[in-house]
Structure 1
């Protein structure tokens, strides 16, 4: 194991975000992921490049605040999360849906 691999925590990436807007961004070689709230762009970049073996051109992050949800008379909130939109260099892509 190299020194670079020791500092990478794969648990930073929680899941890919699959919405209408994020599937439209796939055409522009941009991918959306839900990541840990306390990570920075450098850690996200290292983890994505190591996990998917790609080169990243740009990263945009935003903190998504919890939305209020009601079920009957009970009011609750969705969990808050950080969203990272990753732009890859031209020759690279991530296969989110493997062919069976």
Structure 2
């Protein structure tokens, strides 16, 4: 499983509302292309850009920017974040 869980911090919710970006904890071994393919296939949206970083806990965090044609808040509602 590439996409482990969504991040529900206050900062990630601001990204969701202001920049159409949703944050996920992902598998440490995957690259941006695999994250993009998995996310697009799972949620049927177009991804513009992905930023990844390693957290201090050793987990990989992906900030997934959704295309303006779609709304990241709709995905958050499906996931039960809002």
One fold, TM greater than 0.5? yes
For 1:83, the equivalent position in structure 2 comes to 61
Query: Which structure is higher in helix share?
Result: 2
Larger radius of gyration: 1
What SS class does the counterpart of residue 32 from structure 1 fall into? strand
Q: Distance in 2 between matches of 1:16 and 1:41?
A: 16
Q: How far did 1:93 drift?
A: 2.4
Q: How many residues align?
A: 76
What SS class does the counterpart of residue 28 from structure 2 fall into? coil
What SS class does the counterpart of residue 14 from structure 1 fall into? strand
- 1:33 pairs with 2:24: yes
Scaled by the length of structure 1, what TM-score is found? 0.71
- 1:61 pairs with 2:52: yes
What SS class does the counterpart of residue 4 from structure 2 fall into? strand
**Structure 2 gaps, min length 5:** none
Scaled by the length of structure 2, what TM-score is found? 0.86
What SS class does the counterpart of residue 96 from structure 1 fall into? helix
User: Residues 5-59 of structure 1: CA distance to partner in whole angstroms, max 9, x if unpaired?
Assistant: xxxxxx1000000000000001210000000001000000000000000000000
**Structure 1 gaps, min length 5:** 1-10, 67-79
Query: Which structure is higher in strand share?
Result: 1
- Please list every run of at least 4 consecutive aligned residues from structure 1 whose deviation after the TM superposition is greater than 6 angstroms: none
